[in-house]
Amino acid sequence: MRRRTFMGKMGTGTLGALVAMAAGNVSTAGAASSSPLRYLRPPGALPEAEFLSRCIHCGQCGEICPNRCIKYFGIENGTEAIDTPYIIPREKSCILCMKCGDVCPTGAIKPIPREAEAILEDVHMGHAVVDENLCLSFQGKTCGVCYRACPLPDVAIYVARLEQPHVTDKCVGCGLCERSCIQMPQAIRIIPDRG
């Protein structure tokens, strides 16, 4: 692609985003909560408004992440969220290593010990929901992949006959179940909890 063509396309994209903002189609204030993108904040992230006020966009959380599941927003989620960390569980989910909170210099992601009790108490990324119309185990075919992927089996999720998954209120929303689901579209999804 020639430089002039590239620059023209970049200008058109930026202009389109600015026009959408001016027209009210994209909000900059509170944009992170109104995004059509279903995403999670890292484990230990403060409620959204406080998280956004504390995050200094340093990138240390993503650098330390051994699973490389943490990405950073561009303009697609509003100007307030630029360079803030997020996770898309279907692409790559959180393994609950809790390292991101250890390196966060501002407390936007609070440090949480890598112990089951502490994780259950302080991690509120979201909550898994099973679509029984898509889940193979509810269609009479034994699966159980989501149950085996869960780092908190029999606590956050348990299985009934034919390995039908049932999510409890102890689910922290790491997304490992969604990532592992073999159905397309996935039969289990994380509903974000950003307070």
Whole-number Å distance between alpha carbons of 48 and 114 = 23
Instruction: Please give the helix or strand (H or E) that residue 7 lies within, else none.
Output: helix 3-22
0.85 cut: is pTM over it? no
H-type alpha helices, 24-155 = 31-34, 48-54, 60-64, 99-103, 116-122, 145-149
77 in Cβ contact with 32 (< 8 Å):
yes
Task: Give the residue among 50, 51, 33 at the shortest CA–CA distance from 42.
Answer: 51
Which amino acid, 78? G
Question: Per residue of the chain (195 residues), what is the pLDDT tens digit?
Answer: 454 444 444 444 444 444 344 334 433 333 344 557 899 999 999 999 999 999 999 999 999 999 999 999 999 888 999 999 999 999 999 999 999 999 999 999 999 999 999 999 999 999 999 999 999 999 999 999 999 999 999 999 999 999 999 999 999 999 999 999 999 999 999 999 976
